[in-house]
Amino acid sequence: MTWDEELDSIGLLCPLPVLKARKRLMTMAEGAVLLMRADDPATIVDVPHFCAEAGHTLMSQHSQGAELQFFIRKSGG
């Protein structure tokens, strides 16, 4: 999968990964894809909830060991 920007939130705990994703997405163009990397287990729940609330599309999420990867497409709203 391809992405336009990457956010490394490894080592950050809730709610920082989602807050940083929100801030980064605000600067991105509509339809752009953000790859967010995290290792806080709470992001498994927090990121899908954030996307649903903000109107962004969670395209996929994967885990590679302790690292979680979320691919978020920015909405137009």
Active-site positions read 14
3-class SS of residue 69:
strand
Give the C-alpha separation, 68 to 77, whole Å: 26
DSSP H or E stretch at residue 41: none
Q: Count how many Cα atoms sit within 13 Å of the Cα of residue 65 in the half-sphere of its side chain.
A: 2
